[in-house]
C-alpha cells in the first residue's frame, strides 16, 4: 500500500493511494472518493478491493483546491469543509483526472489491461460519468448523488454499469430515485438495484446509516460484477 503521483491531462500532478493484490496480473480499479477526500475509509476500501484480487487506485480529486484532504463524517465542521470542496470542484476536470488514473492503472505491470471504476456518494456520481464519458471496462456507483440530472448522457453507456441505490437516500427523493431507475431501465448495459429502507452511505463502515447486511450484499455483487467484466 503506497501513494503515487499521476500526471493530470492539463498539467500538474495529483497523488493517489494504491493497494496491490497478492496475485498478479489483476484487473484494475479506480476507487472514487466520497466528499471527504482520500481518507481512512477510502484507503480501507482500496485495501479490501486488493484483498479481493484487484489492483486498486484512489486518486485525490480535491488536489486543485487543496491536496491531501482527509476528512471524516463525524463533525459538522468537517461536513462544512467537505461541501465547500464539493461546491468548488470542477467535475469535468475530475472526470479527466479519473481517466488519467484509469490509464495509469492499466499501464502497470501488475494489471491485465482491463480496468473499471467504483465510487461512493460523489464518487457514485462520477462513476456514472465514467460510464458515459470514458472507456472504462465496467463501472459501479454506490448511492450516486444527482444522477437524475445526468440521464441525458445515459444513451452513451456501452459498457457494464451497476448502480446501488438507497431507497430512502437523504440526498435524493423518491421522485428522483424513480426517475433514475426509469431512465436506465431500457439500457441493457445498466443494472440498477434499489436497497429497501436504506439511507445514503449504507455501505460506509462506521457511518451513521451503515447497514452490514445491505453493505455485504452490495459489496458481494460488486466483486462478482468486476470479476466477470475485468477477467
User: What are the catalytic residues?
Assistant: 169, 200
Please report, in angstroms and rounded to a whole number, the separation of the first and last CA atoms in the chain: 23
32 within 8 A of 101, measured Cβ to Cβ: no
CA–CA distance, 213 with 194 (Å, rounded to integer): 14
User: Residue 165 CA to chain centroid, in angstroms?
Assistant: 13
13 within 8 A of 104, measured Cβ to Cβ: no
32 within 8 A of 74, measured Cβ to Cβ: no
105 within 8 A of 111, measured Cβ to Cβ: yes
The beta-strand segments (E) located in the chain are 2-7, 13-19, 26-32, 55-59, 111-120, 139-142, 161-166, 190-195
The residue with cell 491531501 is: 68
Contacts of 41 (CB under 8 A, 6+ apart): 34, 72, 204, 205, 206
Q: Residue 44: name the closest of 210, 159, 200, 185 by CA.
A: 210
Amino acid at each position: 500500500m503506497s501513494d503515487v503521483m499521476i500526471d493530470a491531462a492539463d498539467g500538474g500532478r495529483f497523488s493517489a493511494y494504491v493497494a496491490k493484490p497478492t496475485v498478479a496480473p489483476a484487473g484494475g480499479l479506480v476507487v472514487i472518493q466520497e466528499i471527504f477526500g482520500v481518507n481512512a475509509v477510502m484507503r480501507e476500501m482500496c485495501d479490501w478491493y486488493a484483498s479481493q484480487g484487484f489492483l486498486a487506485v484512489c486518486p485525490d480529486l480535491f488536489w486543485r483546491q487543496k491536496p491531501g484532504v482527509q476528512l471524516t463524517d463525524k463533525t459538522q465542521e468537517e461536513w462544512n469543509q467537505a461541501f465547500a470542496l464539493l461546491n468548488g470542484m470542477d467535475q469535468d476536470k475530475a472526470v479527466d483526472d479519473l481517466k488519467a488514473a484509469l490509464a495509469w492503472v492499466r499501464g502497470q505491470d501488475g494489471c491485465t489491461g482491463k480496468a473499471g471504476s467504483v465510487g461512493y456518494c460523489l464518487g457514485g456520481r462520477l462513476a456514472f460519468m465514467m460510464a458515459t464519458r470514458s472507456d472504462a471496462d465496467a463501472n459501479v456507483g454506490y448511492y450516486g448523488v444527482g444522477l437524475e440530472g445526468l440521464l441525458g448522457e445515459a444513451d452513451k453507456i456501452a459498457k457494464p454499469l451497476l448502480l446501488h441505490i438507497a431507497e430512502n437516500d437523504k440526498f435524493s427523493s423518491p421522485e428522483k430515485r424513480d426517475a433514475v431507475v426509469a431512465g436506465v431501465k431500457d439500457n441493457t448495459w445498466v443494472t440498477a438495484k434499489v436497497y429497501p429502507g436504506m439511507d445514503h452511505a449504507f455501505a460506509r463502515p462506521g457511518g451513521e446509516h451503515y447497514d452490514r447486511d445491505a453493505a455485504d450484499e452490495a459489496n458481494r455483487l460488486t466483486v462478482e460484477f468486476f470479476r466477470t467484466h475485468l477477467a
